[in-house]
């Protein structure tokens, strides 16, 4: 177990609500997780389960209002981000923590060259000359695997392919050598071969620095490729957490099991693919008790009322299902 | 799952000579402008007008100008265009430098060509400075309204800012005690905000809760100001203001600028409303850029296309407004020549000396037409949806 000084990011009982017309949406409803130096942590879950809102809350990028952080703490390198004034947060963003967005097509400003945008990230946070920033930008572009960076630096975003743009976005995130990079589904908009290249790139970059990566995705294939540890999110809560091995070989929560069952594999060839019945509950209309109970194959009458607590399986493997935990203990 | 854990893929060798040539947005705009014949001719006429206006300013100013627009030759009055001065009647040293009155002379024997040149510079500066002022106001207000639209201005904000503004004003008005009180109040407000900032999340004391009541939204404040300004018939507003202020070229420019910023504000705000939701704005915020940096350096260049178009058309309308004011006698005071007052002076002699009205009239027509053609062409070019497919 790593010591507490290793922890880059620690989120405790984070709650984010959206206030609009009608009932309050509890998009993130008590999330705990931590990320250590040099570690890749995946947050997995279906669309609408609060993954992106969690990431935006960490970056301090939630639009407030309508969003409101209703409780919890976010500790980055020991400092509490929620109590930090906005100027301090701004100095942190881009320098010590950076974010890569889902859509490389729209995340770059169309009227500036990529070189301008990457060197801006350097110039904002560090006292360097424009020439130095440009030199570093070329180096960054080379690091992220863009061919002929000396020429590409003066290209506008529309001249680059999707994969190249995402590489440019990653270069921008890396510009000041952040301790934490939050990647919000960075490969979802890319095709599979480019996706594999980007994942490889992230792994390679991580080997060179001690950067931690919080990787948000709904693609379990990606998780298996890059994650050290996995958090499975559902309805604004963590449902299961553990190492990649725990989650894939020994899932302890019905939701995780259902997710894995939905994957196509060679053995299931020719059969009808499993899909979880129903859909993710609306954040303003969550079921009572266990939020997953309407869709759960292991449902008991008690699930309707009792809120499930985290059950510890040891070695950092936790799951939010007392029913399966009880069955496991009885059989042991 | 296995497919994406492949080993290192070999890099494709790119032959960069085969790539299409790199084009910046500006060079692309220039290329399309060259193809649009009307807009391009508008630009050419504008360029010629610009050169003539600058040359006119240089030639007609100074202690002994090359072409003196104020030189009165009473014996040579109302000579038609292209006429040669009569050597016997012209006082030595006052003959036109070109040996002819290119556009004739007016009722005081002044060279109309020289006066037109002087007027060109007036029109140019009025057009550009007035539009510059209105675009500047429009961009700042529209940008703030569009970006901060949902933020509320609270009672506390208004109170502390009015105290901050009041303190120096009272100090200037030689009321030291009141100024000191205002400054102390502003300082107390600042201290209160700093204190609240450190204790975020804690409830405000009940007695101070009225300070955070919402007075008005930023967007509401700006857009209602626009609505109010638009209610005035602007030409008459300008007439009133000009009548009250001392007449000068600068008053005209500033007043025209201050009464024509509403359109730009609305355009910029509308652009900002859609641009601020774009991912690149979120990406810029994730880089730790400040709000003002994002507004003016990242969003503004994306919002400038429609502003550029309306500014081009605005220059034409500002020039027309100035000509109209001068025609009515409220504009630039004589003896300084502008196209409007040449036209106005000439209207009394329209049958005897039609060139006095036709020269400024036709020039105004041509220049405004050129600006409007260029502006409309620019709008088609900068908006891909209006671009002709061919």
Q: Distance (Å, rounded) from C-alpha A102 to C-alpha A322?
A: 35
How far is the CA of B13 from the CAs of A78, A146, A148, B16, B79, in angstroms? 46, 12, 10, 9, 76
Q: Is the pLDDT of residue B1 over 80?
A: no
Q: Is the pLDDT of residue A13 over 50?
A: yes
How far is the CA of B226 from the CAs of A5, B127, B137, B204, B313, in angstroms? 55, 22, 11, 35, 19
pTM, whole model, 2 decimals?
0.78
**Predicted local distance difference test score (pLDDT) of residue B17:** 53
pLDDT tens across B155-169, in order? 777 888 888 888 788
Which of B4-18, B183-197, B206-220, B346-360 bottoms out in mean pLDDT, i.e. has the lowest? Answer: B4-18
Who among A148, A169, A196 is closest to B6 (CB)? A196
**Would you place residue B4 in the very low, low, confident or very high pLDDT band (cuts 50, 70, 90)?**
very low
Q: Which residues of B touch A227 (CB under 8 A)?
A: none
**Mean pLDDT confidence for B323-344:** 83
Residue of B nearest to A125 (CA): B288
**Predicted local distance difference test score (pLDDT) of residue B138:** 92
Q: Is the pLDDT of residue B332 over 50?
A: yes
Among A22-26, B50-54, B327-331, which range has the highest average pLDDT?
Answer: B50-54
**Would you place residue A2 in the very low, low, confident or very high pLDDT band (cuts 50, 70, 90)?**
very low
Q: Which residues of B touch A103 (CB under 8 A)?
A: 279
* ipTM for the predicted complex: 0.80
Q: What is the CATH number of the domain that holds A228?
A: 3.40.50.300
**Predicted local distance difference test score (pLDDT) of residue B214:** 75
Classified by CATH at the fold level, domain B25-70+110-386 comes out as: MetI-like fold (1.10.3720)
Q: Which residues of A touch B289 (CB under 8 A)?
A: 90, 94, 120, 124
Choose among A266, A206, A259: nearest CA to B3: A266
Q: Is the pLDDT of residue B252 over 90?
A: no
* Average pLDDT for chain B: 81
Chain A within 8 Å of B286 (Cβ-Cβ)? yes
Per-domain residue ranges of chain B = 25-70+110-386
- B58: which residues sit within 8 A by CB, 6+ positions away? none
Distance from CA of B141 to the nearest CA of A (A): 21
Who among A109, A200, A225 is closest to B8 (CB)? A200
If one compares B334 and A97, the residue with the highest pLDDT of the two is A97
**Mean pLDDT confidence for B218-239:** 88
If one compares A271 and A55, the residue with the highest pLDDT of the two is A55
**Mean pLDDT confidence for A56-73:** 82
Q: Is the pLDDT of residue B133 over 90?
A: yes
CB B274 within 8 A of CB B306: no
If one compares B384 and B174, the residue with the highest pLDDT of the two is B174
Chain B within 8 Å of A219 (Cβ-Cβ)? no
* Average pLDDT for chain A: 83
**Would you place residue B3 in the very low, low, confident or very high pLDDT band (cuts 50, 70, 90)?**
very low
User: Which of A109, A113, A163 to mutate to test binding with chain B, by most B CBs within 10 Å of its CB?
Assistant: A109
Distance from CA of A210 to the nearest CA of B (A): 20
Chain B within 8 Å of A108 (Cβ-Cβ)? yes
CB A40 within 8 A of CB A9: no
Q: Distance (Å, rounded) from C-alpha A109 to C-alpha B15?
A: 27
**Would you place residue B226 in the very low, low, confident or very high pLDDT band (cuts 50, 70, 90)?**
very high
Q: Which residues of A touch B283 (CB under 8 A)?
A: 99, 101, 107-108, 169, 172
Q: Is the pLDDT of residue B6 over 50?
A: no
Q: Is the pLDDT of residue B14 over 80?
A: no
Q: For chain B, state the CA radius of gyration.
A: 29
- Domain total in chain A: 1
Note which residues in 186-215 of chain A have CB less than 8 A from chain B: 192-193, 195-197, 199-200
Who among A110, A147, A222 is closest to B302 (CB)? A110
Residue of A nearest to B195 (CA): A85
* A300 part of a folded domain: yes
Residue of B nearest to A155 (CA): B22
Residue of A nearest to B19 (CA): A159
Neighbours of A152 (CB within 10 A): 22
Q: Which residues of B touch A110 (CB under 8 A)?
A: 280, 302
Query: Which residue shows structure tokens 């202020």?
Result: B245
**Would you place residue B130 in the very low, low, confident or very high pLDDT band (cuts 50, 70, 90)?**
very high
Choose among B265, B226, B241, B215: nearest CA to B331: B241
Neighbours of B163 (CB within 10 A): 19
**Would you place residue A1 in the very low, low, confident or very high pLDDT band (cuts 50, 70, 90)?**
very low
* A41 part of a folded domain: yes
**Would you place residue B131 in the very low, low, confident or very high pLDDT band (cuts 50, 70, 90)?**
very high
Q: Distance (Å, rounded) from C-alpha A159 to C-alpha A113?
A: 10
- A149: which residues sit within 8 A by CB, 6+ positions away? A138, A139, A141, A142
pLDDT tens across B304-315, in order? 888 888 888 888
Who among A120, A159, A221 is closest to B4 (CB)? A221
Quote the domain boundaries for residue A231. Answer: 4-96+176-264+275-331
Cα angle, residue B217 at apex, residues B212 and B222 outer, rounded to 5°: 140
Note which residues in 266-325 of chain A have CB less than 8 A from chain B: none
3-state secondary structure of A178: coil
Q: Is the pLDDT of residue A161 over 70?
A: yes
Chain B within 8 Å of A83 (Cβ-Cβ)? yes
Q: Is the pLDDT of residue B48 over 90?
A: yes
CB A149 within 8 A of CB A141: yes
Among A85-89, A165-169, A321-325, B105-109, which range has the highest average pLDDT?
Answer: A165-169
Neighbours of B194 (CB within 10 A): 10
CB environment A92-112: b (16+ within 10 A), e (fewer): bbbbbbbbbbbbbebbbbebb
CB A26 within 8 A of CB A89: no
CA-based diameter of chain A, in Å?
Answer: 68
Chain A within 8 Å of B24 (Cβ-Cβ)? yes
**Mean pLDDT confidence for B73-77:** 77
How far is the CA of B313 from the CAs of B122, B265, B328, B369, B376, in angstroms? 18, 15, 23, 10, 8
**Mean pLDDT confidence for A290-310:** 82
Which of A67-76, A270-279, B5-14, B371-380 bottoms out in mean pLDDT, i.e. has the lowest? Answer: B5-14
Q: Is the pLDDT of residue B101 over 50?
A: yes
């Amino acid at each position: 177990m790593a010591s507490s000084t290793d922890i880059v990011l620690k989120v405790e009982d984070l709650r984010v609500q959206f206030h609009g017309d009608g009932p309050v949406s509890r998009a993130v409803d008590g999330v705990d997780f931590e990320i250590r130096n040099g570690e890749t942590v995946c947050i997995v879950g279906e669309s609408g389960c609060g993954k992106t809102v969690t990431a935006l809350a960490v970056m301090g990028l939630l639009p407030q209002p309508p969003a409101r952080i209703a409780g919890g703490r976010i500790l980055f390198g020991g400092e509490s981000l929620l109590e930090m004034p906005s100027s301090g947060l701004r100095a942190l963003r881009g320098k010590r923590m950076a974010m890569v967005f889902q859509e490389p097509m729209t995340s770059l400003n169309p009227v500036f060259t990529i070189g301008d945008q990457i060197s801006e990230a350097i110039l904002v946070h560090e006292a360097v000359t424009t020439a130095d920033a440009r030199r570093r930008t070329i180096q960054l572009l080379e690091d992220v695997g863009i061919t002929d960076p000396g020429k590409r630096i003066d290209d506008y975003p529309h001249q680059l392919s999707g994969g190249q743009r995402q590489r440019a976005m990653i270069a921008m995130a890396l510009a000041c050598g952040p301790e934490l990079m939050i990647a919000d589904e960075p490969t979802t908009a890319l095709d599979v071969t480019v996706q594999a290249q980007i994942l490889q790139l992230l792994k390679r970059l991580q080997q060179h620095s001690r950067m931690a990566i919080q990787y948000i995705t709904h693609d379990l294939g990606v998780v298996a490729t890059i994650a050290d540890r996995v958090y499975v999110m559902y309805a604004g809560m963590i449902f299961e957490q553990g190492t990649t091995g725990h989650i894939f070989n020994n899932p302890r929560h019905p939701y995780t099991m259902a997710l894995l069952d939905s994957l196509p594999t060679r053995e299931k060839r020719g059969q009808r693919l499993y899909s979880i019945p129903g859909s993710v509950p609306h954040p303003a209309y969550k079921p009572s008790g266990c939020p997953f109970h309407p869709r759960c194959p292991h449902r008991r009458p008690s699930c309707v009322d009792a809120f499930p607590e985290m059950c510890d399986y040891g070695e950092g493997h936790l799951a939010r299902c007392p029913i399966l935990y009880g069955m496991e203990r009885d059989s042991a | 799952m296995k497919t994406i854990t492949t080993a290192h893929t070999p890099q494709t060798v790119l032959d960069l000579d085969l790539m299409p040539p790199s084009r910046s947005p500006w060079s692309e705009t220039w290329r399309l402008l060259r193809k649009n014949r009307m807009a391009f001719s508008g630009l050419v006429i504008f360029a010629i007008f610009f050169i003539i206006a600058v040359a006119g300013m240089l030639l007609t100013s100074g202690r002994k100008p090359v072409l003196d627009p104020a030189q009165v030759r009473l014996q040579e009055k109302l000579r038609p265009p292209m006429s040669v001065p009569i050597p016997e009647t012209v006082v030595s040293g006052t003959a036109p430098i070109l040996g002819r009155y290119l556009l004739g002379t007016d009722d005081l024997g002044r060279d109309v060509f020289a006066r037109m040149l002087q007027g060109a510079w007036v029109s140019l500066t009025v057009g550009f400075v007035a539009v510059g002022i209105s675009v500047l106001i429009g961009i700042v207000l529209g940008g703030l309204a569009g970006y901060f639209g949902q933020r509320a201005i609270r009672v506390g904000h208004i109170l502390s800012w009015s105290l901050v503004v009041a303190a120096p004003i009272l100090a200037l008005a030689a009321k030291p005690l009141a100024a000191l009180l205002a400054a102390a109040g502003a300082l107390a407000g600042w201290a209160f905000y700093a204190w609240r900032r450190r204790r975020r999340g804690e409830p405000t004391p009940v007695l101070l809760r009225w300070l955070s009541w919402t007075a008005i939204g930023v967007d509401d404040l700006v857009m209602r100001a626009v609505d109010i300004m638009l209610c005035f018939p602007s030409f008459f507003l300008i007439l009133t203001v000009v009548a009250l202020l001392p007449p000068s070229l600068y008053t005209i420019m500033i007043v025209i600028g201050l009464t024509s910023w509403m359109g730009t504000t609305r355009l910029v705000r509308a652009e900002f409303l859609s641009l601020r939701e774009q991912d690149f704005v979120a990406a810029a915020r994730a880089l730790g850029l400040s709000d003002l940096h994002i507004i003016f350096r990242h969003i503004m260049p994306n919002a400038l296309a429609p502003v550029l178009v309306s500014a081009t058309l605005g220059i034409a309308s500002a020039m027309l407004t100035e000509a109209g004011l001068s025609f009515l006698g409220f504009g630039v005071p004589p003896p300084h020549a502008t196209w409007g007052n040449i036209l106005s002076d000439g209207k009394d002699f329209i049958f005897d000396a039609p060139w006095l009205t036709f020269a400024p009239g036709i020039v105004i027509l041509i220049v405004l037409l050129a600006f409007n053609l260029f502006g409309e062409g620019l709008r088609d070019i900068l908006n891909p949806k209006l671009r002709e497919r061919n």
